[in-house]
Amino acid sequence: MKTRHIAASALLLALTFSGCYIHNTEKYYARAVERAPYDAVIVPGFPFDGHRWDTLVKARVFWAYQLYQRGMARHLIFSGGAVYSPYKEGRVMALYALRLGLPDSAVLVEEHAEHSSENLYFGWKLAQASGYRKVAVATDKYQAKLLKVIARRLERKVGCQVDIIPMTDGWASDVAMWDPEIDPSSAHVDDFVSILERETFWERLREARGKQFDWDREVEELRALRIPVGGALGRRSDEGRQEGP
């Protein structure tokens, strides 16, 4: 019951500030088909209770796996740390995806994101550091609405370009979804402290909307990783280096 309450809280926070959902999912999918294949597609996580995956994360993993099978994604980045439960969400999703048949060579795991904004940004950063330039994010149409706003903000800041691929209406009707068994012990965090104890509601809201990043530090890290920096901060940094001391 407690885990369900925590999961519901996480979902409510996302939906409350997502502006409802994306209606024209087919349009987004058609655009993604034209731009595919993507070097990497990010899959945002959701709390895991230690026993079985939630219906929402199950749909996200199957949707992303469908994109891989259709040749639209060369790699899948499963993103999410231990946020509301003591299991790293990205690792749990990867374990399920491997059981579905996704090859290990197509799997990347990002284990630090605690908010949708971080799923997107940290996933993009991991992709870039791995040499994967063309990136998208695959999720449900509710979270996709929030990520669309965040993606635009990140692109303006540092040139973070991530396409949105929301689940299309009726996509699951042709998919035989099942529940594979996994051993989640590798995803467990022993010294776990819930984000509900570490952050206030307003702090979580601020971070869900991508307001937590120290962009000067981020630009330095991106350059250290040899990741091209675009957007307003990239231009400002270039101008500063040209002017010199």
CATH C-level class of 2-187+207-213: alpha beta
* pTM metric for this prediction: 0.89
Residues 146 and 116: beta-carbon distance below 8 Å:
yes
Q: Phi and psi (nearest 5°) for 110?
A: -110, 120
Lowest mean pLDDT among 30-39, 177-186, 213-222: 213-222
Residues 21 and 145: beta-carbon distance below 8 Å:
yes
Q: Would you list the domain boundaries of the chain?
A: 2-187+207-213, 215-245
- Measured CA distances, 58 to 39, 97, 102, 106, 129 (Å): 22, 10, 14, 18, 27
Q: What percent of the chain shows pLDDT beyond 90?
A: 76
Q: Beta strand 107-110 with 76-79: parallel, antiparallel or unpaired? A: parallel
* pLDDT per position as a tens digit, 27-68: 999 999 999 999 999 999 999 999 999 999 999 999 999 999
Burial class (CB within 10 angstroms; exposed 0-12, middle 13-18, buried 19+) of 199: middle
Predicted confidence at residue 20, as pLDDT, reads 81
**Amino acid identity at 130:** S
Residues 121 and 223: their CA atoms lie apart, in Å, by 15
Count of CA atoms in the C-beta half-sphere (13 A) of 82: 18
Predicted confidence at residue 233, as pLDDT, reads 80
